[in-house]
Structures are given as structure tokens and as C-alpha cells.
């Protein structure tokens, strides 16, 4: 009798080790790639390029699902609570994973514990841009105008990173810019194009479209040096402003507890896609720096960024929202 029980247990164990739970048969149905921002914005465009190519490699459709709102916290919490089976994954941004926990009192997910990082996808700079027909056409002119007309000193934004960059600009320049928050980067950039705001602070993808049409002019960029996608745009450092050399990032994450074999399968696919010349060219054209990582490297980045942004919030004296 004991031998029979052992034999049955061995069969169950073998099925557990070699079965679908460990990813050998993954994927067998469509994968949802959840994005915390509106369709047409920078993150959405990045996700759709990635999803198309991943669909080809995985042999199933990768469907982009937009769940905008609450500075991407709705989407991030949704994936954190999803089944850890590899069929619901997140395009996670530094704003949602590293900045929101530093800026908001009630964040209903733990960025360091509730996810299984898969890989980075890209990093990107942030730009300050103004309307091409507006009253200021350089950062010094913008700061001077804002001081002379404090009632008009505002900027459009769609996420926590942009607000912190705005606050850091106020701290360094002695300005009093007020954030006008929009639901998505496309809306925020369009507000500057429509002259509804004095300036916009947004990611390189969203602002890039306005620059190409000639309706916006970039007056500063957060990259460490002049960015090849935005030649002639001065860095904040070159303009004498410190603490504004920031690279945001985007990466894929699964819910915590996702089997390692599934995480590794997704990671291999991301690395394959990001190495494709046409993907790299497409991302570079949007002002993105294509980038990949191991799961461990991505995990360490999240932890270090959580520490960094918490320090920035504290140094700027920003009260949690």
C-alpha cells in the first residue's frame, strides 16, 4: 500500500514538474499586454510595436490592453493581482514602479514584491517643449516669462515623473510652474499645441510628433548629453540646472509567482524582438534607446530607482498626495 501511494505521488510530481504550470506548453492562447496610458500615447506606441513582433515569435496574439488612469496605478495594480500564468503582463514604466510609491500615499501594489520582472525594453529622456508661436522659445526665455507672468506659469503633464521634473525645475530655477494634469501624454502635448498651457513636460515619444510637425519647440532635455534623436536641444546640465539628468525606462513584468520557465520564455522573446534592426530603428525614431536586461538586473534597477526617487521627493519637500 505505501508503495502504491509513493508511485501515485511520483506520477503527480512528474506531472507537476513537466506540466503546463512550469511553462513547457506556454503559450497556448493570447497574451494580454496591459498599458497604463491612453491609446496613441508614447507607452501605447512602444507597446504595439513590441506586441506585433512578440505575436510572431510566440505563435499567439499579444493584445495591447489600455487601462489608463491614476498615473498608471490602475493598470499596475490590475496586473499585480492577475493570475501568475503568463497571460497577463504589464508594460511597466519607471513612473508607476519607482516614482508613484515615492509620491503617493495610497499605492495598492508593492513594486519590489508584487511582480516578476521580465526585461527592460527601452529607456527614454524627458523634454520640455513650448508652442512654436508662444512667448518663449528657449528655457531662459520660458523661465523669465514665467516669473514675469506667474498667473500663466504652467505646464501640461500626464504622469508622476513629469511632475517631479517640473518640481525639480522649480527648485533649481526658483520658478513657480503649476502642473496641469492630463489623462494621457497625447492630451498633454496637444494642450501645448493648442496654446492651452505655456509648456509641456513629456516623454520623447509623445513630444516627438509635435516637434516633427513644427508646432512645438523643445527647449530642454533630461539626457546626460545631447541626444542623437534631438540634435541641438540643450540638456538641463548645459543650461546650469542640476539634478535633472533623468532617463526614464519601460519594461515587461508579470505578476509575482509566475513560473520561472514562463518568465524566461517571455524574456527570450523580448530580447529577440529588441535585437531586430527594424524595431531598433523604429524605437530610435521615437527618441527611445532600445535596451534589455535580465530579470535580476531589472529587479535591482527597480529597487535602486525606488530609493532614488524617494530621496528626490524628500529633498524637494514634496508632500505625498
| DSSP string for 275-303 | HSHHHHHHHHHTT-EE----HHHHHHHHH
Instruction: Give the span between the Cα atoms of 216 and 117, in whole angstroms.
Output: 36
| Residue 204: predicted pLDDT | 84
| Residue 23: predicted pLDDT | 52
Task: Classify the phi-psi angles of 23: left when phi > 0, otherwise alpha if psi is within -120 to 50, otherwise beta.
Answer: left
In a domain, 243, yes or no: no
Do residues 206 and 252 both lie within one domain?
no
In a domain, 241, yes or no: no
Instruction: Give the span between the Cα atoms of 255 and 185, in whole angstroms.
Output: 26
- Longest Cα pair distance anywhere in the chain, in angstroms? 90
Instruction: Give the span between the Cα atoms of 73 and 71, in whole angstroms.
Output: 5
Do residues 115 and 208 both lie within one domain?
no
State which residues of the chain have pLDDT below 50: 1-21
Kindly state the DSSP code that residue 30 receives in the 8-state scheme.
-
Structural domain count of the chain: 2
In a domain, 234, yes or no: no
| Residue 295: predicted pLDDT | 96
| Residue 198: predicted pLDDT | 97
Do residues 87 and 67 both lie within one domain?
yes
| Residue 42: predicted pLDDT | 77
Provide the CB-side half-sphere exposure for 208 (13 A, CA).
23
At 312, list the grid cell. 528626490
In the block, cell 496574439 appears at 61
| Residue 7: predicted pLDDT | 40
In the block, cell 508511485 appears at 7
Instruction: Give the span between the Cα atoms of 315 and 279, in whole angstroms.
Output: 39
Instruction: Give the span between the Cα atoms of 305 and 249, in whole angstroms.
Output: 10
The neighbour count for residue 47, using CB atoms within 10 Å, is: 26
In a domain, 83, yes or no: yes
Instruction: Give the span between the Cα atoms of 19 and 31, in whole angstroms.
Output: 19
Q: What is residue 151's three-state secondary structure? A: helix
Instruction: Give the span between the Cα atoms of 182 and 114, in whole angstroms.
Output: 27
| Residue 11: predicted pLDDT | 38
| Residue 281: predicted pLDDT | 92
Do residues 14 and 110 both lie within one domain?
yes
| Residue 105: predicted pLDDT | 87
Do residues 197 and 289 both lie within one domain?
no
In a domain, 45, yes or no: yes
CA dist list (Å): 318 to 176, 210, 225, 313? 14, 31, 28, 5
In a domain, 231, yes or no: no
Do residues 90 and 107 both lie within one domain?
yes
Do residues 17 and 77 both lie within one domain?
yes
Domain boundary among 204, 221, 238: 221
Instruction: Give the span between the Cα atoms of 33 and 254, in whole angstroms.
Output: 10
CATH (domain of 187)? 3.40.190.10
Do residues 62 and 77 both lie within one domain?
yes
Do residues 180 and 216 both lie within one domain?
yes
Do residues 119 and 142 both lie within one domain?
no
In a domain, 191, yes or no: yes
In a domain, 259, yes or no: yes
Q: For the chain, where are the alpha helices, taking DSSP H only?
A: 2-18, 42-58, 73-80, 94, 100-103, 139-148, 160-173, 185-193, 204-212, 260-275, 277-285, 295-315
Q: Which domain holds residue 199?
A: 126-221
Dihedral of the alpha carbons of 304, 306, 311, 316, in degrees to the nearest 10: 140
| Residue 220: predicted pLDDT | 97
CATH (domain of 253)? 3.40.190.150
pTM of this prediction? 0.79
Do residues 14 and 107 both lie within one domain?
yes
Do residues 101 and 37 both lie within one domain?
yes
Amino acid at each position: 500500500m505505501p508503495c502504491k501511494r509513493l508511485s501515485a505521488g511520483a506520477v503527480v510530481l512528474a506531472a507537476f514538474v513537466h506540466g503546463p504550470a512550469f511553462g513547457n506548453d506556454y503559450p497556448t492562447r493570447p497574451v494580454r499586454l496591459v498599458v497604463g496610458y491612453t491609446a496613441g500615447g508614447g507607452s501605447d506606441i512602444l507597446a504595439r510595436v513590441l506586441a506585433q513582433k512578440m505575436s510572431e515569435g510566440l505563435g499567439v496574439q499579444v493584445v495591447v490592453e489600455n487601462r489608463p488612469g491614476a498615473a498608471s496605478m490602475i493598470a499596475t495594480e490590475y496586473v499585480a493581482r492577475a493570475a501568475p500564468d503568463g497571460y497577463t503582463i504589464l508594460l511597466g514604466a519607471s513612473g508607476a514602479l519607482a516614482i508613484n510609491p515615492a509620491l503617493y500615499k495610497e499605492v495598492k501594489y508593492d513594486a519590489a514584491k508584487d511582480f516578476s520582472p521580465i526585461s527592460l525594453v527601452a529607456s527614454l529622456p524627458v523634454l520640455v517643449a513650448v508652442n512654436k508661436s508662444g512667448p518663449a522659445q528657449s528655457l531662459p526665455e520660458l523661465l523669465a516669462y514665467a516669473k514675469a507672468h506667474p498667473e500663466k506659469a504652467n505646464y501640461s503633464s500626464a504622469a508622476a515623473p513629469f511632475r517631479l521634473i517640473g518640481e525639480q525645475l522649480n527648485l533649481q530655477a526658483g520658478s513657480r510652474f503649476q502642473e496641469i494634469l492630463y489623462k494621457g501624454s497625447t492630451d498633454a502635448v496637444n494642450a501645448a499645441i493648442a496654446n492651452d498651457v505655456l509648456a509641456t513636460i513629456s516623454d520623447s515619444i509623445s513630444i516627438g510628433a509635435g516637434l516633427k510637425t513644427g508646432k512645438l519647440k523643445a527647449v530642454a532635455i533630461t539626457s546626460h548629453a545631447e541626444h542623437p534623436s534631438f540634435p541641438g536641444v540643450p540638456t538641463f546640465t548645459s543650461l546650469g540646472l542640476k539634478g535633472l539628468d533623468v532617463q526614464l525606462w519601460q519594461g515587461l513584468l508579470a505578476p509575482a509567482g509566475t513560473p520561472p520557465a514562463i518568465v524566461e520564455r517571455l524574456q527570450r522573446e523580448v530580447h529577440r524582438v529588441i535585437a531586430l534592426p527594424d524595431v531598433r530603428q523604429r524605437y530610435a525614431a521615437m527618441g527611445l534607446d532600445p535596451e534589455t536586461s535580465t530579470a535580476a538586473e531589472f529587479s535591482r534597477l527597480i529597487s535602486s530607482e525606488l530609493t532614488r526617487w524617494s530621496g528626490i521627493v524628500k529633498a524637494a519637500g514634496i508632500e505625498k498626495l
